[in-house]
Structure 1
Amino acid sequence: MGKHVIVGAGQVGSHLVERLTGMGHDVTVVTRSGSGPEGVERVAADVADRARLAAVAKGADTIYNCVNPRYHRWARDWPPMAASFLGAAEDTGAALVTLGCLYGYGPVDGPMTEDLPLAATGTKGRVRAAMWHDMLAAHRAGRVRTTELRGSDYYGPGSTDQAYVGETRFVKPLLAGRRVLYFSDPSIPHAWTYLPDVAEALAIAGTDERAYGRAWHIPTGPAVSTREVAERLCRIAGAPAPRIQEVPRPVFTALGLANPMLKELRETRYQFDRPYVLDSSAFQSVFGMAPTPMDDALRTIVAASRASASRAA
């Protein structure tokens, strides 16, 4: 089987390791500290060091960019890392599969499709748009084979505290009957992308030549409001009815004065102030992959949360 290099061992990278090793591939995980899941080769490297990354990826079939700089450092950290990924792919001949996001589109009326212009005016959206333009130009010039997969906000087992409906600030409090604070209107429909589906789509893209030369949307189910996600979660778990409290916008703005993460969220607040709908039909049609039904995903999340609580007891 093939050799695959995953850069980043966070909420997506760990799921991707499991998926690729389950397919029989040799997997190397690269992080700054050399940490990562057990059972695979783990390497410490500065992702912005092109020569070091190329040395690690020598002989690899595919490099996966699953890193995520700190939110308030995107404009500073992403350009040298993105250039390093492209350079390492060119130096080694490995394909480059980048985990992207939807920020590059900016505010959109209606479902988002891959043919929309990357018209974002915010800093983070412009950074991501520039990354994709550089990747696509390198692909068209014959220097690399590359693709970018874009999903909406993540949910699922192993989700971090940055996820709006993640384990720490959403699932665990709701299952315990506690109130959840939410930084927008929880009744507005929003697309949620399931973490195991992210890993599955990345694994497909990294092993199928049809993926290269364009961007794709990761299979994602119909948009569902945060309130409905909470109600379905609690119903499946047999937990008390959810209590979600919207944080008023002036309070949200004031909190951002002291918290860099919350300050950066102002730029993408539009995603939660009106319906945010993702069309992933292209990937689903070409590669035959459907998104995991939300209730099935929530059952897995409940089981994982309870198993984690049992281990901690």
Structure 2
Amino acid sequence: MALHVIVGKGSVGTTTAAELVARGHEVRVLSRSGGRSTDTVEHRRVEASDAEAVAAAARGAAALYNAVNPAYHRWATDWPPVAAALLTAAERTGAVLVTMSNLYGYGRPSGPMTPESPLAATDVKGRVRIRMWTDALAAHEAGRVRVTEARAADFVGPQVPAAHSHLGRQLSALRAGRRAWVIGDPDAPRSWAYLPDVAATLATLGTDDRAPGRAWHVPSAAPRSQRQAMGDLAAAMSSPAHPVPRLRVSGVPWPVLRVVGLAVPMMREVVAVRHQFDQEYVVDASATTAAFGLTATPWEDVVRATVGGMPATA
């Protein structure tokens, strides 16, 4: 049993903590607001951008996990100091740094994305993620620290707050028979990352000596468009006693989103990464499966769990 320190207590941090506990490890979670410690997880109040405080809290840890989640429209200002602090803390403690990342760095893909795909993003958020990884990798290659990174598609699962899930936020509309309004092309194939699969990948990267020095993709089920995924969810919610009305899914016109973005910073940032929603956006995680034996949870199980986690009044 080893000590594993997670920075961030959102859905990723919480689910990863549970996975590590299940594997028999000691877990400490650091966050700005702290939390109530239990017999299995210790919580401490620590500011993620404070390298000294993070290093002190991570002393003796085998792995340090970056599960921080800055506000979507504040990546350019909030991510750099946090990334630098965690990299410094990992260097000082000797813990392997495992960063939870995403697909933004690839920019507009021309096919399924692999960890070897070019980091060609030109938008602000994509460049932020590229800089975080290249700085960490440079420190690794200089022999100062060990780093690895998990990159995942959009999250799905009952562990993900509805406001942070492209699918989850539509569940109540589907159940009520209202039209589901989605971002981008409803019929573009997409990969979806089930949060327990994300946690399993992070925990594996933090405990396997083969992981450092490169990025790995979280295994995902076969691609499903937003329309297909919502049809699956609607079917799972339906029963003879409570049938779900006919599925209706439409994409919000981009001009409308641009106008909304004038007043809503988050929506302005969504428009800036339109390429993620108007074409195929698919992950290839075969390297992760080949190296560690990790596979995606079957899609039907993901759908069942997601619907089962809905509030009864949703």
Q: Structure 1: which amino acid aligns with 2:165?
A: A
1:255 to 1:36, Cα distance in 2 relative to 1, 3 A = farther
Equivalent residues in 2 for 1:124-273, closer than 5 Å: 124-160=125-161, 161-166=163-168, 169-238=169-238, 239-273=244-278
Residue 79 (1) aligns with residue 80 (2): yes
Structure 1 CA distance for aligned equivalents of residues 37 and 258 of structure 2: 37
Structure 2 CA distance for aligned equivalents of residues 261 and 162 of structure 1: 12
- Give the TM-score normalised by the residue count of structure 1: 0.95
Task: State how many pairs are aligned.
Answer: 307
Please give the secondary structure, in 2, of the residue aligned with 1:147: strand
Please give the secondary structure, in 2, of the residue aligned with 1:91: helix
Please give the secondary structure, in 2, of the residue aligned with 1:210: coil
Offset from partner CA, 1:179-221 (integer Å, 9 cap, x none): 3221212111111111110001001111101111101111112
Residue equivalent to 1:118: 119
Residue equivalent to 2:291: 286
Contact 1:14 1:36 in 2 (8 A): no
Structure 2 CA distance for aligned equivalents of residues 247 and 107 of structure 1: 20
Structure 1 CA distance for aligned equivalents of residues 260 and 49 of structure 2: 32
Measure how far apart 1:177 and its partner are: 2.8
Residue equivalent to 1:296: 301
Measure how far apart 1:236 and its partner are: 1.8
Contact 2:7 2:29 in 1 (8 A): yes
Q: Structure 2: which amino acid aligns with 1:203?
A: A
1:185 to 1:36, Cα distance in 2 relative to 1, 3 A = farther
1:102 to 1:73, Cα distance in 2 relative to 1, 3 A = same
Contact 1:4 1:28 in 2 (8 A): yes
Q: Structure 2: which amino acid aligns with 1:105?
A: Y
Identify unmatched segments of 5+ residues in structure 1.
Answer: none
Structure 2 CA distance for aligned equivalents of residues 268 and 221 of structure 1: 23
Contact 2:194 2:302 in 1 (8 A): yes
1:98 to 1:141, Cα distance in 2 relative to 1, 3 A = same
Equivalent residues in 2 for 1:59-74, closer than 5 Å: 59-74=60-75
Measure how far apart 1:100 and its partner are: 0.7
Contact 2:64 2:98 in 1 (8 A): yes
Aligned alpha-carbon RMSD (Å)? 1.5
1:189 to 1:210, Cα distance in 2 relative to 1, 3 A = same
Offset from partner CA, 1:112-142 (integer Å, 9 cap, x none): 1111221111111111001100111111111
Contact 2:70 2:79 in 1 (8 A): yes
Residue equivalent to 2:241: none
Identify unmatched segments of 5+ residues in structure 2.
Answer: 239-243
Contact 1:60 1:92 in 2 (8 A): yes
Q: Structure 2: which amino acid aligns with 1:134?
A: D
More deviation, 46-55/175-184: 175-184
- Give the TM-score normalised by the residue count of structure 2: 0.94
Q: Structure 2: which amino acid aligns with 1:153?
A: D
Offset from partner CA, 1:46-65 (integer Å, 9 cap, x none): 11110000000011110000
Structure 2 CA distance for aligned equivalents of residues 90 and 115 of structure 1: 25
Structure 2 CA distance for aligned equivalents of residues 172 and 4 of structure 1: 37
Equivalent residues in 2 for 1:300-311, closer than 5 Å: 300-305=305-310, 308-309=311-312
1:17 to 1:172, Cα distance in 2 relative to 1, 3 A = farther
Offset from partner CA, 1:97-121 (integer Å, 9 cap, x none): 0001111111011111111221111
Q: Percent identity of the aligned residues?
A: 49
